[in-house]
Amino acid sequence: MDERVSGKIATLPSVNESLNQNSFVYRICFATQRDSKNKMCPAIRNFTPSKNDTDGLSVDWEMLTTPEESIARFGAQYKYGKIGVYKEYKDHEIYKLFIEYIKQLPDITDVIYSPIRKEHPPKGAPNNLAHSSITFTKHPLEDECETLLRMRDHAIENLIVPIDMNIVDKEVSRLREQGD
C-alpha cells in the first residue's frame, strides 16, 4: 500500500466486504451520446454488468486509486477474447458514484471490495487492488431496469471526473510493458 493510500485508510477491507458508504466508486464509461443540450451522456449499457463482470458491475474504489490510474488500467487490458489487442482508453470517461446512494437503489445488494491480484499478472490483465463490485439481486436488463437508469442519472449529476491524460498515457505505456 503506498503513502497516498495509507493516509486515507488504516487497513484494507476483506475481500467481499461491504465498502464504507461515505466513500464513492469510479465507473469507466464510453460516452458517445449527447442529451438535448448537446452535453455528453453515457449510454445506459455502461451501467449494465458485462459478461466479464461475474461478481456484479465492475467499479474502482476511490480510496485505492486515482481517476488516471483507473483509466490507465483499463487501457492496459486486452479486449475480451482478443489476445494482444488493447482496449481503447482515450474515448472513455470516469463517473463518480456515491456508495450511500447506490446502496439504497432497488435491486442493489451491496457494493463490495473485490480486488484483482495475481502474483504474476499476465500481459493485458493488470492487477487492480481498487477493484470493487456493485452487486444486484438479479442480473439487470438494459431496457427494463429502473435501477440502471437511476444509477446513470446519478453519475451524470455528479459530472465527469477530470482526468490528466498525460499521466494516463505514461501509466498505460508502463502497464502495457509489464506482465509475464
Region at 14 (left for phi over 0; alpha for psi -120 to 50; beta for the rest): beta
pLDDT band at 159 (very low <50, low <70, confident <90, very high): low
What is the pLDDT, as a whole number, of residue 4? Answer: 47
Q: What is the pTM of this model?
A: 0.85
Note the helical H segments in the chain.
3-6, 67-75, 99-103, 146-157, 165-177
Domain that holds residue 40: 24-175
Whether 13 is covered by a domain: the verdict is: no
**Is residue 57 over pLDDT 80?**
yes
How many domains are contained in the chain? 1
Section 36-52 average pLDDT = 68
pLDDT band at 35 (very low <50, low <70, confident <90, very high): low
What is the pLDDT, as a whole number, of residue 172? Answer: 95
What is the pLDDT, as a whole number, of residue 141? Answer: 61
What is the pLDDT, as a whole number, of residue 9? Answer: 61
Whether 9 is covered by a domain: the verdict is: no
**Is residue 2 over pLDDT 60?**
no
Tens of pLDDT, residue by residue over 91-146, are: 888 989 999 999 999 889 999 999 999 999 999 999 999 999 999 887 766 555 78
**Is residue 31 over pLDDT 80?**
no
What is the pLDDT, as a whole number, of residue 144? Answer: 57
Q: Where are the beta strands (DSSP E) in the chain?
A: 24-30, 33-34, 40-41, 57-61, 92-98, 108-113, 131-136
Section 147-176 average pLDDT = 87
Whether 11 is covered by a domain: the verdict is: no
Smallest Cα–Cα separation from 72: which of 7, 8, 1, 127? 127
Mean of per-residue pLDDT scores for the chain: 84
Whether 35 is covered by a domain: the verdict is: yes
- Cell numbers describing residue 154: 446519478
Whether 105 is covered by a domain: the verdict is: yes
Whether 5 is covered by a domain: the verdict is: no
Q: Which residue type, as a one-letter code, is found at position 63? A: M
Whether 78 is covered by a domain: the verdict is: yes
